[in-house]
Amino acid sequence: MQIKVLFIPHAVEHYNIGLSEELKKSTKLILLTTKRLETKAKQIIIPALQFQLLEDYSGRLLRKISIVIFQKFHDVIHVNTASEGLFAGNFNKMVLTEHGWPDPRFVETHERKFYEKEQMALLQLHKMGVPIVT
C-alpha cells in the first residue's frame, strides 16, 4: 500500500514539477493547486478566487479550506507556507517546505503583514514539532 500525499504547490513552478515527478514514483500523490501544472501527477484544481471584502486572504481562503477538507483523506500533507500549515491543523501528518526565513524587515511595506504572520506561524509549527525542510 502506497502512502497518500497531498501536495500543496509553491509559486515556483519548476520546483513543483520536479518534486512532484519524483514523489509520484513512490507515493500516491495528488496536487491541490489553482492551475494545472505540466506534470503527470494527479491534480485537483481549485479556483483562485479573489475576495474584495477579505483583502488579507486575497483568494487564499478557498485554498486553505480545500486543504482542511482534502487532508483528511491523505497520510501526509505537504504545505509550502507556515500560515497554511497552521490553518490546516493535523500537525502530526504535516511536512512544511520553507524557502528561507521570512524576515519582515527586509520586504516591501505592502508585503510585511504576510511575512509577520508567516514568521509567527513558522515558530508555532516548529514548537509543535512539525518537520520543516528548507
Give the domains, in start order, of the chain with CATH numbers. Answer: 4-133 (3.40.50.2000)
51 pLDDT above the threshold of 80: no
Of 77, 64, 94, whose CA–CA distance to 30 is shortest? 77
Task: Identify the pLDDT of residue 53.
Answer: 53
pTM assigned to the model: 0.80
Of 68, 42, 125, 72, whose CA–CA distance to 133 is shortest? 125
Most confident of 27-36, 95-104, 108-117: 27-36
127 pLDDT band (50/70/90 cuts)?
very high
- The bridge status of strand 28-33 relative to strand 42-45 is parallel
Residue type, 133: V
- State the Cα–Cα distance between residues 128 and 123, nearest whole angstrom: 9
Give the model confidence (pLDDT) of 103-116 as tens digits: 788 888 888 888 88
25 pLDDT band (50/70/90 cuts)?
very high
Task: Identify the pLDDT of residue 58.
Answer: 52
Calculate the average pLDDT of the chain: 84
Quick one: what percent of the chain has pLDDT higher than 90? 33
47 pLDDT above the threshold of 60: yes
4 pLDDT above the threshold of 80: yes
